[in-house]
Amino acid sequence: MDINIKDNNLRVLITGGAGFIGSHLTKQILDHTNSLVFNLDKLSYASDLTLIKSCEKYKNHNLIKANIADYSNCMNAIKLSDPDIIFHLAAETHVDRSIDDAKLFIESNIVGTFNILEIAKNHWLKLNKTRKQNFRFIHISTDEVFGSLGEIGSFNEKTSYDPRSPYSASKASSDHLANAWFHTYNFPVIKTNCSNNFGPFQFPEKLIPLVIQKCITKETIPIYGDGKNIRDWLFVEDHVNALLLIAKKGKVGQSYCIGAKNELTNYEIVSNICEIFDKKYPSNLSCKNLIKFVEDRPGHDKRYSIDPQKLMENLNWEPLFSFQKALEFTVDWYIHNQNWIKRIENKNFYKGERLGLNKKDSF
């Protein structure tokens, strides 16, 4: 897999490279190229290097423990990595935690994005003609910046922004900054907005791994409100493949929406996981009996849906994994990697509760 426009020997900086999506992206690059990867990550509660350390070319991985909210940290990271391409993934991402304390999200997602954009721009201006022409800054964002949909329609690259939570507002701000740096400075930014990701190595507070763990431990599975809120699900490997394709063939200044057209209500996704688990481990008590509807979160968006037509038609991308097979694979992975789960939980003193909203028992 060649992620560069012309050659395979890149200096790649990934911010948030020890996070869920970042670690899968880092592994892909290490496994399939000879690039040097510089991983700028503050190693927060959701960070983990297990997947990256499994790479045969791990010697090409350089960890820079730093916080993008600190300008000097970013300056040192850019100087050390001397990048040809930057994948900007570092962000605070959990909606509930943003409702409890928005300050961290402002610092990381807005100030941090400004820091990395401004320092990367100054780095880019000093590159020689060839490196400058080939340089790319891939800004990775979320569909939550578009707000909430009704029963019909999907988000696309022309959808107006309408964020509803401190998290999505901070990500929308970062998107606008990235767009401004392209238009004002001609800085070679490409922006992406993806739907909900899932897969192995995701921190167990997130919906899919949390439900799997509740099935294993036979604990209550809480669902917000009436369970009819709809999300569009994307397997993490398909997301990473899209990012690499966009880095290689995407047009500077453009935005690309990444989704796999897998819309399910929260109740449907939870029920699906329960059915998979019951089939693997049949017992007198179905996991569906563990489901409990709980008080809804404030400002809970009703429906997300991504239209990836531009990405599919212009860059010939398509998801490689069917949703059902990817979900079954993910359930299997969590069942058979309980040591990893326990280590992550113990490291973060996490006991399966919701993080944010005063840690009430729901997600």
Active site residue 167: yes
User: So what's the pLDDT on residue 350?
Assistant: 64
User: So what's the pLDDT on residue 144?
Assistant: 95
Average pLDDT of the segment spanning 78-105: 93
Q: How does pLDDT run across 262-315, given as a tens digit for each residue?
A: 999 999 999 999 999 999 999 888 999 999 999 998 878 899 999 999 999 999
User: So what's the pLDDT on residue 360?
Assistant: 43
For residues 215 and 189, membership in a common domain is answered with no
For residues 217 and 238, membership in a common domain is answered with no
Tell me if the pTM is above 0.85: yes
Q: How does pLDDT run across 139-194, given as a tens digit for each residue?
A: 999 999 999 999 999 999 999 999 999 999 999 999 999 999 999 999 999 999 99
Q: Which domain holds residue 289?
A: 207-230+263-302+322-351
For residues 40 and 140, membership in a common domain is answered with yes
Q: Which of 41, 84, 96, 143 is catalytic?
A: 143
For residues 82 and 65, membership in a common domain is answered with yes
User: So what's the pLDDT on residue 189?
Assistant: 98
CATH number, residue 284: 3.90.25.10
User: So what's the pLDDT on residue 10?
Assistant: 94
With bands split at pLDDT 50, 70 and 90, how would you rate the model's confidence at 5?
very low
Q: What average pLDDT does the structure give for the chain?
A: 93
Q: Which of 41, 84, 92, 167 is catalytic?
A: 167
With bands split at pLDDT 50, 70 and 90, how would you rate the model's confidence at 257?
very high
Average pLDDT of the segment spanning 27-55: 95
**3-state secondary structure (DSSP) of residue 328:** helix
Burial profile 287-310: b = 16 or more Cβ within 10 angstroms, e = fewer: bbebbeebeebeeebebbbbbbeb
Active site residue 70: no
pLDDT above 80: residue 351: no
For residues 37 and 143, membership in a common domain is answered with yes
154 located within any domain = yes
User: So what's the pLDDT on residue 349?
Assistant: 65
- Count how many domains the chain has: 2
CA–CA gap between residue 118 and residue 208 (Å, rounded)? 36
For residues 331 and 216, membership in a common domain is answered with yes
For residues 131 and 216, membership in a common domain is answered with no
For residues 292 and 236, membership in a common domain is answered with no
User: So what's the pLDDT on residue 46?
Assistant: 83
Cβ neighbourhood burial of 345 (10 Å; 0-12, 13-18, 19+): middle
Active site residue 161: no
Q: Which of 84, 92, 144, 263 is catalytic?
A: 144
Minimal CA–CA distance to 51: which of 20, 86, 13? 20
For residues 60 and 138, membership in a common domain is answered with yes
For residues 101 and 52, membership in a common domain is answered with yes
